[in-house]
Amino acid sequence: MTEEQPGSPRARTGPLRALVDRFGHLVHELSKFATVGGIAFLLDFALFNFLTAGRGFEQVTAKTISTVIAATVAFLGNRFWTWRHRQRSNPAREYALFFFFNGVGLGIAVACLAISRYGLGSVWPEVFRTGLADNIASFIVGTGLGTLFRFWSYRRFVFVEAGTQAVPEVANDRDHGA
């Protein structure tokens, strides 16, 4: 039995290749989105700590400033790198929707924390009313679900795809009197 040569017609039509063809662009976008988000997270963290420790800002004020700056950096990174191939619409519209969906993503993380702490915590407080449970619910579950929501909503509503080409219709046997 001979081995398939890379690039041969048979090697290009395997199930793995079909998955790459179908979802490769999505994985590429997701990796860029994660990179931009990671940079924004680090900026938010560093700026918050700088403002509270280095400049004496009150915590809520510092968090507001650091979040707005980090979200703006995330918007620019996503607009001009992650989804640069998507059509551009009104920048004010994109920015407003971006912040709106960021707020919903934040709400998802807060809801996960509240469910863990107050819902499950009322049943099993020694497990769900701990610092570890709060961090898992907020930063792992909440941020994970919120990030998935933001990725989907940014792709769908903020950085919209240009119109797609019409798919040619395929004639079936009934159309040809068979």
Residues 128 and 143 in one domain: yes
For the full predicted model, state whether its pTM sits above 0.85: no
Burial (Cβ within 10 Å: 0-12, 13-18, ≥19) of residue 64: middle
Residues 116 and 132: beta-carbon distance below 8 Å:
no
Residues 92 and 156 in one domain: yes
Taking 90 as the threshold, does the pLDDT of residue 120 lie above it?
A: yes
Residues 101 and 145 in one domain: yes
Least confidently predicted of 39-48, 64-73, 143-152, 163-172: 163-172
Percent of the chain with pLDDT over 70: 79
Taking 70 as the threshold, does the pLDDT of residue 161 lie above it?
A: yes
Confirm whether 37 is domain-assigned: yes
Tokens 């560093």 identify what position? 46
Confirm whether 6 is domain-assigned: no
Report pLDDT for 167.
Answer: 42
Q: Which domain holds residue 48?
A: 22-85
Q: How many domains does the chain contain in total? A: 2
Q: Pick the residue with more confidence: 163 or 13?
A: 13
Q: Pick the residue with more confidence: 166 or 11?
A: 11
Taking 60 as the threshold, does the pLDDT of residue 112 lie above it?
A: yes
Confirm whether 109 is domain-assigned: yes
Report pLDDT for 142.
Answer: 86
Confirm whether 38 is domain-assigned: yes
Give the CA count within 13 Å in the CB-facing half-sphere of 32.
18
Collect contacts of 30-35 with beta carbons under 8 A, ≥24 apart: 30/151, 32/78, 32/81, 32/82, 33/78, 33/82, 33/151, 33/154, 35/77
Instruction: Give the residue-averaged pLDDT of 140-160.
Output: 88
Residues 81 and 93 in one domain: no
